[in-house]
Amino acid sequence: MLTQPAAVAAPPTRDLPVIGVYEPRLRTTTFCLAVAHGARQDPRGGCGVAHLLEHLLFSLPSDGATSFAERVERGGGHANAQTGVETTLFYAQVAAEDAAGTADALLRAVLRPRLTDPAPFDRERAVVVSELRTAAADPADTVQDAAAAAVFPGHPLARPVGGDLDELATLTPEGVLREHREVFLRAPMSLVVVGPAPVPGLDALLRDALPATRTTAPGDAERPPLSAPDTALPALPRGDDIAWVCLAGRTPAAGTPGTAAYELLATLLGSSPSSLLYRTLRGDESLSYSFAAWSRPYTEGGLWRLLAGVEGHAVERLVDLVRGLLTDIAEGRIRDEDLLAARRKTEMSLVLQAENPLDHALLIALRGRAGTQPWSIDANRAELAAVTAADVSAAAAALLAEHVVVVRPEAS
């Protein structure tokens, strides 16, 4: 069996644990600073603050001249950041000999930024606006936001990660700085390090970078109850133009039993040639070239999605086929070898990610929810191994009972 070195959590420094995975053969060190702060924390009337803040922290000059991202890239490394529904990640992979300097620059950029100058603020907001307008022109993007809104109507979990154009226009440097100080810096955080050895002086860097008065608070303080999903079937297109279809439903909350069954269900209906949906859509029906399925757990409840692009006249057939496969699984008509293949595929996806240092760091940061939940590959694989055919059938039945179907572009 393939295994990975265990992640080692160091004692927290002012509530910021370091989770280290050390393998002497590596020649690079990867950092991922994970913050339990995302689109769901955006204030009312300020949808997009988390996304804009992520952009600013990576793009503002951190040493008087260059941004953190540019500094890393000039040294031959790779740096990026991403905002999610409940977690924001800032990461870099650099030569091992550059690790200490990179850690110092990363912590200063994210934890002690200079956000008061309106000129770079306005420039970066314009970049975010351009990103959102590009996404708005892509039905494969807009259909996923619409699906989340239908599964979590009126709930913070449905806030678009990129933001709202009208609300972004009202943001100010002072308001975003206040959000960083009063909400972002109080969210749970962790620093994942994957490299050949612990980084010398890292504890001192953490002590210097973190505010002396930092007090952590839950990163998801706003927890309104979940409303019933909007399961009304939309008007379906009928033409030859490509339409993007998203069939989605709610899953158990993060950290609760049952989430692994939805992971397997996503693999069973995913894009791999070993999946049931691949054999149906590509082999039997020749309906779609591009499709995928995945499951993401959040605090109150997760989101399971299946996304596919098909010609408009085939949308209804696609929905019927997916529902038919879910019905077969829910009623126990699934072969043992198909479930075994899905289990092995899901497990190996984890292992393959862990073979890549950068992917491994991101995996730990996301699955561990910024250090708020224990996670390891071995534990995750054990959860997958414990899932029975009956568990997967129950997950399929739950999706069938309360799922949404969204199409973009909508029928005219």
Domains defined along the chain, listed by start:
8-209 (3.30.830.10), 242-408 (3.30.830.10)
pTM equals 0.93
pLDDT band at residue 14 under the 50/70/90 scheme: low
pLDDT band at residue 343 under the 50/70/90 scheme: very high
Average pLDDT over residues 286-314: 95
Average pLDDT over residues 224-235: 89
Which residues are within 8 A (CB) of 9 and not within 5 positions of it... i.e. 6 or more apart? 17, 18, 19, 20, 371
pLDDT band at residue 319 under the 50/70/90 scheme: very high
Token pair, residue 407, equals 């199409």
Average pLDDT over residues 234-250: 93
Contact of 103 with 204, CB cutoff 8 Å: no
What pLDDT score does 138 carry? 96
Average pLDDT over residues 239-268: 96
What pLDDT score does 1 carry? 26
Distance (Å, whole) CA 190 – CA 256: 21
Distance (Å, whole) CA 387 – CA 258: 8
Q: How many CA atoms lie within 13 A of 201 on its CB side?
A: 10
Give the torsion through C-alpha atoms of 305, 311, 312, 318, to 10 deg.
Answer: -50
Average pLDDT over residues 369-382: 94
What letters, b where the CB count within 10 A reaches 16 and e where it falls short, cover 314-350?
bbbebbebbeebbeebbeeebeeebbebbbebbbeeb
Percent of the chain scored above 70 by pLDDT? 93
Contact of 356 with 276, CB cutoff 8 Å: no
What pLDDT score does 214 carry? 63
Average pLDDT over residues 239-262: 95
Please write the tens of the pLDDT for every residue from 74-131.
Answer: 999 999 999 999 999 999 999 999 999 999 999 999 999 887 778 889 999 999 999 9
> For residue 262, which of 292, 290, 291, 293 has the smallest C-alpha distance?
293
Give the torsion through C-alpha atoms of 141, 145, 147, 150, to 10 deg.
Answer: -160
